[in-house]
Amino acid sequence: MTIGCEQAARWTDPWLDGELDPSAAMRIEEHIAECPACRAEADMVRSLKRSLAGLREGPASPALRRKVLAALDAHDDAQDVERAAVARRRHGRNFALAGAALASVVLAQGLKLRAGAPGAASPAMAGMLPVVEDVAERHARELPLEVSNSDPAAVSQWFRGKLDIPVRPMLFRGREARLLGARLSDVQNQMAAALSYDVDGRRMTVFVFDGARMPRTGASAVMVQGRPVYTTSAHGYTVALTEQQGIGYAIASDLPPQECARIVSHAEMR
């Protein structure tokens, strides 16, 4: 699936730093090859990075270094504010669009069920299936981590400027769940964070993404700490889906559904 100029602009910096997974890198390379404007932007950013690298290595005075770093921090802060505003607007717009699209899926699946179509999926699974399949497949790949750190604050800082949503690693109170690190990934062709955990010696991945990508259905869910949690499976992995303040979370592991639900009940989402 191709990407547009807006996504290319967000991905250019991590792409130049080699921080994108192969599928995302391929999409931005295809776009830049066909788009002169984005190609020129990428060349400019590449040139700026080289200049800054030279500045770090050259005999710059402490005062000049402080000024450059302060200017970069101010630029990052301004970009964070703009990204947050754009994300809020897009979230509201996508929520309405997703609701309309989901209504058509539920209606179609309902007609199949009433007609007794063999193997017809439930409306809940019809809405969840694309996200669940995507998350299970990416968990199964076990790609190398791009940041290896057990400090949630350090991992959160690493994602700053790379995504237009805040990434705050889950904390699992009362469980032997250790944060190992993270990498950039994507969910349904939208950039996401993939946080890797060790849970009693077993691997678990928590995907953090824009809540507008979350499946919204009228199906019942288990309420955990006041949040609805949907638990299902794909490709032999258990996937639990939930949402907090517009941020979507998908937890993938090879743990049984009951054990996964217990882990989610200990999760602290800030």
String of b and e for 77-111 (b: at least 16 CB within 10 Å)?
eeeeeebeeebeeebeebeeebeeebeebbeebee
- 21/61 same-domain check: yes
60 compared with 188, residue with greater pLDDT: 188
Residue-wise pLDDT for 86-101, tens only, equals 555 554 444 444 444 3
Residue 119 has pLDDT above 50, yes or no: no
- 125/71 same-domain check: no
- With respect to residue 175, please indicate whether it lies within any of the assigned structural domains: yes
- State the pLDDT at residue 148: 93
The pair phi, psi for residue 199, each rounded to 5°, is: -115, 105
Rg (CA), the chain: 21
Residue-wise pLDDT for 129-181, tens only, equals 788 888 999 999 888 999 999 999 999 999 998 898 999 898 877 677 889 99
DSSP 145: P
Q: How many CB atoms lie within 10 A of CB 245?
A: 8
- With respect to residue 91, please indicate whether it lies within any of the assigned structural domains: no
Owning domain of residue 174: 104-268
- 192/260 same-domain check: yes
Angle at 157 between CA 155 and CA 160, to 5 degrees: 120
93 compared with 42, residue with greater pLDDT: 42
- State the pLDDT at residue 10: 79
Residue 188 has pLDDT above 50, yes or no: yes
With cut-offs at 50, 70 and 90, classify the pLDDT of residue 61.
Answer: low
The dihedral over CA atoms of 40, 41, 47, 50, expressed in degrees to the nearest 10, equals: -140
**Of 30, 53, 86, which residue sits at a domain end?**
86
- 13/117 same-domain check: no
**Of 58, 86, 114, which residue sits at a domain end?**
86
189 compared with 1, residue with greater pLDDT: 189
Q: What is the mean predicted confidence (pLDDT) over 14-39? A: 84
CA–CA separation, 179 and 182 (whole Å): 9
Residue 121 has pLDDT above 50, yes or no: no
